[in-house]
Amino acid sequence: MRNNQHDRSKAALAARLGRQLFAGAMAAGILAGCATQGYDRKAGNTVGAMQAGNAELALQTLEQQNPDKDKDLLYFMEKGELLRMKGSYEASKESWLAADEKVRGWEEQAKSDPSKLLGDVGSFLVNDTTRRYDGRDYEKTFINLRLALDHLAIGDWDSARTEIKKMHEREAVIAEFRSKELDAAKSSAESKGLKTTSFKELNGYPVETLTDPQVQALKNSYESAVANYLAGFVYEGLGEPSLAAAGYRKAIEMRPGEALLEDGLKGLDGRVRARSPKLVDTLIVIESGSAPAITSMTLPILLPIPSTSGLSIIATPISWPVIRAADSSAVPGSITIDGKTTPVALLTSVDQMARKALSDEMPGIIARSSVRAITRGVAQKAIDNNAGQLGAFGSLLSLAAKVGSVAIEVADERTWRTLPGFFSVARVKLPVGAHTIILPSPGGPLTREVKLSGNYALVTLRTSGPSLYLAQTPYDEQKAALAMAAPDTPPEPDKPVKTAKNVKKAAPGNAVKAAAAAKEKAVAAAAARKSAIVPVSASAADK
């Protein structure tokens, strides 16, 4: 009698467990599916419109796909990028500030209670798409970089400097958190008796996408050469050569042997000491392609599933995130400025940074996925062992639980898709005034006119399909006019003061004639050098 009661109790428990597993799996699967739909598919129309060169349509599609009042981090990142492409810098800035606020919430948790971020109940029971999306590491720092570029497009160099400082502080928080996450993943794997701890051990996984030498050569996934070089340029423009040198050195460390970076450092003192009023030190940033997509791949992993007879090693299918290498053929090797060819240096590949980020995240992904699979395996085993006592309902319950588990097993495909894929730069000194820039593209040359003024200027060119989007520091007509009328070279400092004893008083008429002649000479000289392109390493004193 007791045995029969015990069997009935086990069968009832299995039935109840099965119903809960199935119901929970279906509800969570529907919820996760509605939230992500596979983010690559959800974002497809937005990215497609952007890549076709229609930023306005891409914005409309983004809004249609995000009808809820509460917007997530991805929405604000994507929207900020599309608004920037349209030239709506203030609106773009506001969208990225909203994204930055969400990342700051992550930073506070990472510093005060990182354990809340290291484990998430939903991800252990359902999948990683139930986790709050806090951004990939490189996305967190690129928010600061994009904000800095928006500030520069508006002409606010001081706010750009603030974003650069915030970016460096954020990098330190990420570095500390990733170290803790790796330790936690190793501990979790050991406590569960997991044999697979690296993506290299996943049979069938395209390991070459993550073990590419250029990917592995990256120190981390959140620091970039282009961000550090821009930091140096902003500090230099604000007259802070010591901080500028630190930025340039960091960029050189990340891209050793790049002549353009080395020229930026070795000519720094001369540029800061003697700035020519007629030449604008111009940094041209070229943004090509789009950040890579993440797709799901289902592969089995051997896991220890507890049973009445002990542990059984069972091959359990799990979905894993995969990033395929992006096409870099659209990255230009040179541009043409006023009819003269200027070399371009590729500084940062977001494609490589994204794959480095995934490589760093994989130990945690494997640990969470394995624990999730073991939990489901235990429940499924209990159902299967007692299905016979439940008759046809038991068989149906067992099948339903398996179907439910498969339905909710999906890799997290969320990532910032509208972010440029590659960042290249050129740097030259150009005369104050208008210039023509021609950028080669697969569809033919793309031309834009720019007008430069001041000592330093930033020009950003973003290619997207047949379109070329331009952003630049504002042109100041008054400053340009004063520069055109100024002497060819700045006055030498510390000249002896003239006195009545050693200098004859100049006649007023002679003074007026001399000033007019000097102005005429300056204008003529500026016209003669209209199309001159000066290497950035040359100082104003050399002109």
CA–CA dist 16, 160 (Å, integer): 59
Six token digits for residue 503: 């200098």
pLDDT higher than 80, residue 68:
yes
Q: What is the mean pLDDT of residues 50-58?
A: 92
**pLDDT value for 62:** 96
pLDDT higher than 50, residue 393:
no
- The verdict on pTM exceeding 0.85 is no
CA–CA dist 28, 22 (Å, integer): 10
**pLDDT value for 203:** 87
Q: What is the mean pLDDT of residues 420-440?
A: 97
Q: What is the mean pLDDT of residues 213-230?
A: 96
pLDDT higher than 50, residue 449:
yes
pLDDT higher than 60, residue 26:
no
Predicted confidence band at 417 (pLDDT cuts at 50, 70, 90)? very high
Predicted confidence band at 201 (pLDDT cuts at 50, 70, 90)? confident
pLDDT per residue as tens digits for the range 242-262: 999 999 999 999 999 999 999
**pLDDT value for 15:** 46
Of 419, 418, 447, the closest CA to residue 435 belongs to 447
**pLDDT value for 270:** 87
pLDDT higher than 80, residue 207:
yes
Most confident segment among 51-55, 144-148, 528-532: 144-148
pLDDT per residue as tens digits for the range 157-176: 999 999 999 999 999 999 99
pLDDT higher than 80, residue 282:
yes
> Do you know the residue count of the chain?
543
**pLDDT value for 314:** 73
Number of H helices, E strands in the chain: 20, 12
**pLDDT value for 497:** 45
Strand order in the sheet with 433-439: 340-343, 334-337, 433-439, 446-452
Q: What is the mean pLDDT of residues 333-339?
A: 96
- Range with the poorest average pLDDT among 114-118, 133-137, 222-226, 523-527: 523-527
**pLDDT value for 363:** 84
**pLDDT value for 408:** 53
**pLDDT value for 489:** 60
- Range with the poorest average pLDDT among 122-136, 181-195, 291-305, 387-401: 387-401
pLDDT higher than 90, residue 540:
no
Identify the residue with better confidence: 125 or 409: 409
Q: What percent of the chain has pLDDT over 90?
A: 51
For residue 533, the number of C-alpha atoms closer than 13 Å in the C-beta half-sphere is 17
**Long-range contacts of residues 384-393, Cβ cutoff 8 Å, at least 24 apart:** 385/14, 385/307, 385/308, 386/10, 386/11, 386/13, 386/14, 386/15, 387/14, 389/7, 389/8, 389/10, 389/11, 390/11, 390/14, 390/15, 393/15
**What mean pLDDT, rounded, does the chain reach?**
80
Most confident segment among 310-314, 316-320, 454-458, 528-532: 454-458
**pLDDT value for 522:** 46
SS3 content of the chain, % helix, strand, coil (to 5): 55, 15, 25
